[in-house]
Structure 1
Amino acid sequence: MDKIAGYLTKHIKNNVPGLTDLQLIKIKFGFECLFSEASKIIIYLVIFSFFSYTLEFITVLIFFTVTRSFAGGYHEETYWRCFTTTLAIFTACLYIGISFEMARSVKIALLLVSIILAYIYAPVDHPNKPIISADRRRRLKNFSVIIIIILGLISFILPDRYSNLAIMSILAEALSLIPGYLKKSDKNLLCREAK
């Protein structure tokens, strides 16, 4: 993926004059993220479709990724660690969402936990793309809370099976904020100590 991203970036550099080195780095990083995420989603889709959980997987994927796009979360250092961690999270969401009946009061409680976690920890940015602006950070925090509320309301109009999956996906994403935040805090502390 790195080689493909590098090839495409080089092609853009040769055909679009005036791009700065920083812009080219951003373009290459964007390609790497796109290829990484697309390849993982395709593999997950094949795996869950093999077990006849295609719609269930798509439900988990949508509710998880929409929340994550605003709130951020924990990031692994390598592609395969990210792949296995995400596969484990999606599998857990599917298993719990399908295996257990959830009363409306339980779903509301899980959503409240998710909202509180988002309010405390979001956004947890990617180490390669830090959020520097305090204003942007505040907006993303607010959007994260709003998105969880909206997705939570949507989950209540879905059939029970998919409603459970949606709630579990939102909760899993909110829980991923904690280790992501702690990992980032540890790195910042190490950097300050090194100085």
Structure 2
Amino acid sequence: MERLAQKITNFIQVNNSNLSDLEIKKIKFGLECFLGEITKFFIYLIIFYALSLTKPFLVATLFFCVPRMPAGGFHEDTYWRCFFTSLIILAAIVIVGSKVLLYAHIRLIIILITLLLIWIYAPVDHPNKPIISIERRKRLKYASLLITLLFTGISFMIPERYAAVATFALFCAALALPVGEFSKRRFANKVVNQ
């Protein structure tokens, strides 16, 4: 992914000499992220389609990934580690969500824990792309809460067989926040100790 992103970035740079070094780095990073996510999505789609779990997979992906956009969370170091970790998480969400019947009071408890985790930890930035502005941090926290509340409302409107998948996906996205924060602190300590 990095090499492909570099080739595309080089092409953009040759055809647009007005871009600064920082803008070029941002373009390359954005391309790496986009290419990585789009290839993973299509491979996952094929896997879950082969298992006749396409709709639960799409629900899990939507409810897991969209709240992570403003909230952040845990990120693996390499494409393949990310690929397999995400596959395991999405498979767990789909399997548990499809097999477990969630009563309203249990869903409410899971949602409250989800919102609490977001309130405490969001946003969890990546060491390669830190969020420095306190104002931006506040906006991202409130956006994370708002999106999660919106998706919670949607989870009560979709068919019951997908509601548990949606709830578990939101919960797993929130669980990625303290894990990401711990990972980020460990990375920072490693850098300081070197």
Q: Where does residue 108 of structure 1 map in the other structure?
A: 108
Alignment of structure 1 residues 183-194 onto 2, 5 Å? 183-193=183-193
Stretches of structure 2 lacking an aligned partner (at least 5 in a row)? none
- Residue deviations 1:33-81 (CA, integer Å, cap 9, x gap): 1110000000000000000111110000011111111111100011111
Shift of 1:188: 2.5
Stretches of structure 1 lacking an aligned partner (at least 5 in a row)? none
1:169 aligns to 2:169 (yes or no): yes
Question: Residues of 1 paired with 2:159 and 2:11: CA distance?
Answer: 48
Contact 2:126–2:184 at 8 Å: present in 1 too? no
TM-score (normalizing by structure 2): 0.96
Question: Residues of 1 paired with 2:189 and 2:78: CA distance?
Answer: 22
Q: Where does residue 40 of structure 1 map in the other structure?
A: 40
Where 1:157 maps in the other structure, the secondary structure is: coil
Question: Residues of 2 paired with 1:156 and 1:12: CA distance?
Answer: 45
Q: Where does residue 92 of structure 1 map in the other structure?
A: 92
Amino acid across the alignment from 2:164? N
Q: Where does residue 69 of structure 1 map in the other structure?
A: 69
1:14 aligns to 2:19 (yes or no): no
After TM superposition, which residue ranges in structure 1, 4 or more long, deviate above 4 angstroms? none
Question: Residues of 2 paired with 1:192 and 1:135: CA distance?
Answer: 27
Where 1:31 maps in the other structure, the secondary structure is: helix
Amino acid across the alignment from 1:11? F
Question: Residues of 2 paired with 1:192 and 1:25: CA distance?
Answer: 24
Aligned residue pairs: how many? 194
TM-score (normalizing by structure 1): 0.96
114-123 or 184-193, which moves further after superposition? 184-193
Where 1:61 maps in the other structure, the secondary structure is: helix
Question: Residues of 2 paired with 1:30 and 1:24: CA distance?
Answer: 10
Alignment of structure 1 residues 40-59 onto 2, 5 Å? 40-59=40-59
Amino acid across the alignment from 1:10? N
- Residue deviations 1:75-113 (CA, integer Å, cap 9, x gap): 001111111110010011011101010011111111100
Contact 2:110–2:167 at 8 Å: present in 1 too? yes
